[in-house]
Amino acid sequence: MKTRTLGPNGPTVSALGLGCMGMSAFYGARDDEESLKTLNRALELGVSFWDTSDMYGPHTNERLLARVLDGRRDEVYLATKFGIKLDPADPRKRSIDGTPADDYRRFSPRFEGENFEKNLTVVDAVKDLADDKGVTPSQLALAWVMAQGEHVVPIPGTKRVRYLEENAAAAEIELAPE
C-alpha cells in the first residue's frame, strides 16, 4: 500500500483509510465476524489509517477494533471524533430546532428533483470512464480523490472484505492530470 503524510508534519499513513462506522451502526445489522475479517485484511493490505468514534454503537466500534489491535496497536493510526451532547439550554440546540421546515439546512437539494437527474448523468459518465480504465466506478472515484493532493487520504467505509480489497486497489490507479 502506498503511503502519504498527513499535513506538512503529520504521521505517515496508508494512502487509503478505512471507515469503520458501518461495522457497528447505521448500515444494517452488525456482523462482527465479517468486520473482524475485514479489519485483519486491512492490516494485511497495509491499510493503516482507520476512522472510528465513540458514537458508533455507541462504543461498540472501539471495542471491535480493540479485538484486532490487541498487541498490534502500533500498526494503525486512528482518526476519531467525540460526540457532543447538546444541552436543551444551549443556543446551538435551539438554533437547530428553530429552523423552519423549508430551511435549506434541513435537506440537500443535490438529490432532489432535476438535480437528481443531473447526478444520474454524472454517474453514467463515471461508469463509462471507469469501464475505459478497467476499474469500478468506486475505484475511479477514490483514485480521483487521491489525485487531489499528496496529503489527501480518502476514508471509505466498509465492513466487507471484498469492498476493502476493491477500495485498496484504487491506490494503484494512475490518472492523467486532465
Q: Is residue 78 in a domain?
A: yes
Q: Is residue 58 in a domain?
A: yes
Residue-level pLDDT at 93: 47
22: three-class secondary structure by DSSP? helix
Residue-level pLDDT at 25: 74
Q: Is residue 104 in a domain?
A: no
CATH number at residue 34: 3.20.20.100
Q: Which one is catalytic: 56, 77, 104, 163? A: 56
Q: Is residue 54 in a domain?
A: yes
Q: Which domain holds residue 45?
A: 3-83+139-172
Q: Is residue 14 in a domain?
A: yes
Residue-level pLDDT at 128: 93
End-to-end CA distance of the chain: 24
Nearest to 159 by CA among 2, 30, 16: 30
Q: Is residue 120 in a domain?
A: no
- Please give the tally of structural domains in the chain: 1
Q: Is residue 16 in a domain?
A: yes
Alpha-helix runs per DSSP H in the chain: 32-45, 60-69, 91-97, 113-133, 137-146, 161-169
Q: Is residue 133 in a domain?
A: no
Q: What is the pLDDT along the chain (178 residues), one digit of tens a residue?
A: 999 998 888 899 999 999 999 898 777 788 999 999 999 999 999 999 999 988 887 888 899 999 999 999 999 999 987 665 555 555 544 444 555 566 544 566 666 777 778 878 888 899 999 999 999 999 999 999 999 998 999 999 999 999 999 999 999 999 988 7
Active-site residue flag, 163: no
pTM of the shown model: 0.80
